[in-house]
Structure 1
Amino acid sequence: MTELLDATDSQTAMLADLVDSVRAVEETIARLSAVRDGMLAIASRIAVDVARQASHPDQGDMAVRSVAAEIGAAVRASDRTIERRMDAASWLVEAFPAVWAAQGAGRISAAHAQVIADAGAHLDHALHREAYAARAVEAASVESPNRLRRIARRIAEQFQPRTVTERHRDARELRRVWVKDLDDGMAELGMLGPAVLVHGMHDRLTRMARTITLENAQATKASTEETGEPDTRTTDQLRADLLADLVLTGSPVGHDSQTGVLGKIHARVEITVPVLTLMDDDPGASGSPPAELDGRFPIDTDTARLLAGGVTGWERVLTHPITGALLAVDRYRPSDQLSRHLRARDQRCRFPGCGIAARKCDVDHTHAASHGGETCADNLAHLCRRHHMLKHHSPWHVRHRRVGDDRGEHENDDTNAGRAGDLIWTSPTGTTYIDRPPQQNAVTFTEDNPP
């Protein structure tokens, strides 16, 4: 490549200055990240000290949650995210002070520090961690985080007092499956498990996909006339389709009970779709909003129609034609009217920053029923188990805003016009945060766009 050979001396000098500036900015970011980690570690320590002073039986867990919720609400982030950051910062600052100091000096980045901390997570002895950190920081000063990961693991292995077999037994306890929502109606399914099983699963899916591809090719070659559209799916696409088919239609023969109860469990999802979207041949062109999964992200209209056509009953959400506000929820088949209304209104946990779907949450009395609180929409809200516990076992307080309630709280957004259904949370430091029900996925009309 000879493109840069044509650069003038001034352009080359400018490029050199830019490179130096980017390096300086990266060092500054590393220092600031170290400062933030130090602050988060201090916040975690304060929470633990408060719990220790009061001899809390949970060893400070609820105090840490409360502090994380305070910081999360202040910076508009999930308190779960803040608590994970607090844990990571405490581990880095307390277990690997030399690594934290190197990051604070700008010698290594936050990504380098994370790699070193992760690779040395199983080193229990302080002297072993100290010796490991010194060598890892030296390697980090000349390597990228990606290259450092393998080097750090090799260095840490030299200080491991336990065998791989012993550590694997502990690591197996962390196996789990999770879902990450993506754009365009897609989501990602992840799994953490023993490497042998995971690679075995992937290999079986690959063999099945290649067998389908081979059979399709042979059938196409043997056929003298075209019988339909050829299967053009790639190996990756076939693996994904096969995995979905196996999980959704297969039976857990290795875990099921004698009554086969696990095999009778079917997948459940909740879809909200405007009726005009179901009726419209081209909802995108007409401006009708797309269907939503769990009230959180859109899905394609074809899938929404397929699911709507296969269910035995629909829950109808009635909204105001101008504002789109929720008016009522009903269903032709008898069921719990109030519960459906709350699910449609809340859609997710009502603690600031939390996005757990309402169907996974508890329905909580804001004013306790044991103290005279009514069982009505103005005194009920969905809270995930984490924030349900936080409400009852920490200094956080909450109340419903009712119609006509115009107290002058300092709200956590730029909108001062409150409405019924709002939850007013007060943190341990006295700061007020307003959590409003999400906007409904519905068509709204204005004077310029009448129904």
Structure 2
Amino acid sequence: MELGTQPSSTAEILPRVGARVRRRQAELVDEWIDVVAWAQDNVVTTVEGAATLVEGVIDTGVPIAGDGAPLVSEFNLMELIAVLGRSPDGGRGYVGRIIECAWRLPGVYAAVVEGRLEPWRAERIADLTRSLNADAAAFVDRQLAAVGGVGWAQLERLVTEAVIRFDPDRAEQERQAAADRRRVYFDDVDGNGQVESHAILDAADAHDFDQALSRRAKLRGQLGDTDSFDVRRAKSVGDIARHDLGLDLLFADEETGEVIATVPGRKVVLNVHITDTALNTDEAGNPFANPVGRWDEGRAPVSVAQIKEWLQAPNTTVIVRPVIDLADCVPVDSYEIPDRLRRRVELRDHSCRFPGCPKQATACDLDHATPHGQGGATCPCNLVPLCRRHHRAKTFSSWRYVIVLPGHYLWTSPHGHHFLVGPDGTRALDPPRSPATH
């Protein structure tokens, strides 16, 4: 740009940037198609002479793609990598991910070729599935085809579920190995007499510990401790270690009137959902129980064995909640949102519904899609979880959304770009429209 020329407006710049991104992606898709064609021409039938992965400087002997994908010639791959202009190790990983998609994740590969999925996202998926057996990889591919796309955390949970479903022995071995790595350790004491602590804990134990610290920090405040809540939580670690007698005093919960004398034990709430996946059938049509559970607060799939272990902890109180119809509309007259409605919205949406935001719904505001002052109901069908940052964006800027279906939201950016947010994540919709045409 020459000095003195009028700079382009944002509304003119954004379409040009988007067009270049689409051109680059189209060229990369053509490269993927050529790599797949190259692989078909360079298959070897034995592991001798086949390309394998390298970790550091050590050849692992593991093929560059997972079980069921073709073995390709090591020496011919070197030539392809040179033409691609990639490093030897990075190049074999790159080609391996394309082969992984083309042969073991056909739905993902088709989405790349058709322009529905960015190649770099497909590569990330391939990295996670390469170690899975063929059945588990096919399961991940089917699930991704059904929902269209997911966030990284959700993808990792999907892979975890695939391992639990189709390779239970591996899942249990990994669970036991992870349990053996649990530890608590402390760094050196600094000049101010403080020390950093680190821990790897069972997830349920960590949750209980977190709740215990918050409870004791609150009680400390009631006893007159004027430090910040975070400092009181830190001081409560010592209270728990020493069983501080001051915490044996009786306090009444301000909301429920319940008298609290001692720290309660573990409380577990089971939400039992009966769905078409609750019972599965094998190839012979015989039913078997779904071995996958969900830890709501951890937002992760867990095995039934892990759930049983958590429930067997001493002093555990188990609360079984009835199945909740998430599509049910139960409005109330007030602006304030009852906990029962909040729970329905959180179970439906799980996270902030702004494009790409992963913040958990339990930590979000609930926005009235149609404002309450304009006749909008306080009802799950009109309530949307938005984190504080994105709630402010919707309230104070030109970001807007409409509810397409329960759990599905169409957002419009200030310059007319559209994003569809739903259970399968965020999808950008093209072409954008001018804000004047809305």
Larger RCO: 1 or 2 (CA < 8 Å, sep 6+): 1
TM-score by length of 2: 0.36
Which one has the bigger helix percentage?
1
TM-score by length of 1: 0.36
Which one has the bigger strand percentage?
2
Which entry has the higher C-alpha Rg, 1 or 2? Answer: 1
